[in-house]
């Protein structure tokens, strides 16, 4: 018993020493961090970076590197850029294998993982449906049933083959196309944070228009506070504010991007099984350890709806969700079991 008490005492004393050393280090050798911020239009949105750095020069150099990394990813995986790896893969649909980079392989593999876990609600080969709704929207009409059937017929993640030895990818049916819009921004946020880390930055926020990742806490100290956009009232935030250090938050919703047809709003998120835009959950916010996961799960839950979406979230480790549905103009909030751990009472947007 005496031995156990002694052990307890030693561990308490050690803890105290660790804390005291920590304090002393903070006072003597760590320079105060200044807050620096930069915005740039990329990936079809405005990307914001906020970091803590000892001076302007260090901050500017680190943020430039992070923006360069995002541009590199955009050039590689955007299906709208002719010559990108994904465009080359799409152009070769129905034909031979296409050589791809390790990075593109890794993202496609991740996308296929979401497709399998969601039983096809998330589908990286949703390209033909996205194009169909976009072009119909431009013509101000709804797609014809036959057009929907044709697009659904060439959509299906089982028709995307990957070979890790090349690495290479192959779309087995002519007219198919890959669209990484549901996870590319999250992936870019994670990579931008990793780049900032290699530049010696220890606290940062990267926001790619609804896909946010944070490293450490705020430059001034304390956790980052992140607001969630109101799904109906533009420019307004929900009262719910997320506070965190080291993690990511993504919001998917039909108010973020959509096409207007006959005065009605159609989401850019499409259910590959029906070929139609989703509308059940106007706003899905996902908290995860990294932005790729938050981004992928947010889109998946948008398609799955409240019940099945929440079931998926509760199964995933360290993933939480806040879903907003609307009935008679009233917002209904649905939280996963652990969401409240991240909730803060008052709005303080970064």
Q: Which does 269 bind (CB under 5 to 8 A by kind): Mg ion, ligand AMP, none?
A: ligand AMP
> What's the angle, vertex CA 291, arms to CA 110 and CA 26, rounded to 5?
135
In the bound state with ligand AMP, the residue whose beta carbon lies nearer, of 63 and 126, is 126
In the bound state with ligand AMP, the residue whose beta carbon lies nearer, of 195 and 267, is 267
d(CA 188, CA 209): 12
d(CA 70, CA 192): 6
Quickly count: other Cβ atoms within 10 Å of residue 158's Cβ. 12
Q: Per rule CB under 6 A, is residue 208 in the interface with ligand AMP?
A: no
| Window 235 to 254, contacts with ligand AMP (CB under 6 A) | 252
Q: Which does 126 bind (CB under 5 to 8 A by kind): Mg ion, ligand AMP, none?
A: ligand AMP
Q: Per rule CB under 6 A, is residue 285 in the interface with ligand AMP?
A: no
Q: Which helix or strand (DSSP H or E) is residue 2 part of?
A: helix 2-28
β-sheet with 237-244: strand ranges across: 224-229, 237-244, 343-344
In the bound state with ligand AMP, the residue whose beta carbon lies nearer, of 177 and 240, is 177
In the bound state with Mg ion, the residue whose beta carbon lies nearer, of 132 and 303, is 303
Shortest distance in whole angstroms from residue 340 CB to ligand AMP: 24
CA torsion 106-256-209-283 (nearest 10°) is -80
Contact stretch for ligand AMP (CB under 6 A) within 67-75, 122-130, 307-315, 333-341? 122-130
In the bound state with ligand AMP, the residue whose beta carbon lies nearer, of 105 and 122, is 122
**CA separation, residue 26 to residues 32, 33, 42, 221 (Å):** 9, 12, 37, 12
Tokens of 53: 């750095």
Q: How many CA atoms lie within 13 A of 11 on its CB side?
A: 5
Q: Which of 69, 110, 218, 268 binds ligand AMP (CB under 6 A)?
A: 268
Shortest distance in whole angstroms from residue 283 CB to Mg ion: 13
In the bound state with ligand AMP, the residue whose beta carbon lies nearer, of 240 and 302, is 302
Residues that bind Mg ion (CB under 5 A): 182, 295, 298-299
Q: Per rule CB under 6 A, is residue 272 in the interface with ligand AMP?
A: yes
CB 40 within 8 A of CB 59: no
Q: Per rule CB under 6 A, is residue 190 in the interface with ligand AMP?
A: no
Q: Per rule CB under 6 A, is residue 50 in the interface with ligand AMP?
A: no
Q: Per rule CB under 6 A, is residue 85 in the interface with ligand AMP?
A: no
Shortest distance in whole angstroms from residue 277 CB to ligand AMP: 8
Shortest distance in whole angstroms from residue 129 CB to ligand AMP: 7
In the bound state with ligand AMP, the residue whose beta carbon lies nearer, of 125 and 240, is 125
**CA separation, residue 349 to residues 20, 72, 233 (Å):** 33, 29, 17
CB 160 within 8 A of CB 171: yes
Q: Which does 74 bind (CB under 5 to 8 A by kind): ligand AMP, Mg ion, none?
A: none
Q: Per rule CB under 6 A, is residue 126 in the interface with ligand AMP?
A: yes
E strand segments, the chain: 34-42, 45-53, 98-99, 160-163, 168-171, 204-208, 211-215, 224-229, 237-244, 247-253, 258-261, 264-267, 270-271, 276-277, 283-288, 320-327, 330-335, 343-344
Tokens of 80: 């709208």
Reading phi first (left if > 0) and then psi (alpha if -120 to 50, else beta), residue 310 is in alpha
CB 92 within 8 A of CB 286: no
Q: Per rule CB under 6 A, is residue 303 in the interface with ligand AMP?
A: yes
Q: Which of 69, 100, 110, 122 binds ligand AMP (CB under 6 A)?
A: 122
| Window 146 to 185, contacts with ligand AMP (CB under 6 A) | 179, 181-182
Residues making contact with ligand AMP (CB under 6 A): 122-124, 126, 130, 179, 181-182, 252, 256-257, 268-270, 272, 295, 298-299, 302-303
């Amino acid at each position: 018993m005496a031995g156990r008490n002694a052990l307890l005492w030693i561990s308490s004393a050690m803890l105290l020493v660790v804390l005291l050393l920590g304090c002393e280090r903070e006072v003597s050798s760590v320079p105060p961090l200044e807050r620096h911020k930069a915005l740039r239009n990329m990936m079809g949105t405005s990307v914001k970076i906020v970091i803590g750095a000892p001076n302007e020069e260090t901050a500017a150099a680190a943020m430039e590197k992070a923006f360069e990394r995002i541009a590199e990813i955009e050039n590689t995986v955007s299906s709208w850029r002719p010559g990108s790896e994904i465009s080359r893969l799409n152009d070769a649909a129905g034909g031979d294998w296409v050589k791809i980079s390790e990075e593109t392989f890794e993202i496609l593999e991740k996308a296929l993982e979401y497709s399998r876990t969601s039983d096809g609600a998330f589908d990286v080969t949703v390209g033909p449906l996205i194009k169909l709704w976009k072009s119909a929207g431009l013509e101000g009409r709804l797609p014809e049933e036959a057009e929907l059937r044709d697009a659904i017929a060439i959509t299906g993640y089982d028709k995307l083959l990957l070979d890790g030895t090349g690495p290479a990818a192959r779309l087995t049916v002519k007219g198919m196309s890959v669209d990484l819009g549901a996870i590319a921004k999250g992936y870019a946020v994670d990579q931008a944070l990793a780049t900032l880390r290699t530049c010696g930055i220890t606290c940062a926020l990267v926001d790619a228009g609804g896909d946010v990742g944070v490293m450490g806490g705020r430059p001034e100290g304390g956790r980052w506070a992140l607001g969630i956009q109101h799904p109906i009232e533009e420019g307004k935030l929900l009262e719910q504010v997320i506070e965190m250090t080291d993690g990511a938050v993504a919001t998917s919703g039909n108010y973020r991007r959509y096409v207007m047809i006959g005065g009605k709003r159609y989401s850019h998120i499409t259910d590959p099984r029906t070929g139609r835009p989703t509308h059940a959950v106007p706003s899905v916010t996902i908290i995860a350890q990294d932005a790729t996961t938050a981004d992928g799960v947010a889109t998946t839950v948008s398609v799955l709806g409240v019940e099945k979406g929440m079931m998926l979230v509760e199964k995933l480790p360290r993933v939480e969700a806040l879903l907003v549905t609307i009935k008679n103009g009233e917002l209904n909030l649905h939280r996963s079991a652990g969401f409240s751990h991240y909730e803060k009472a008052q709005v303080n947007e970064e």
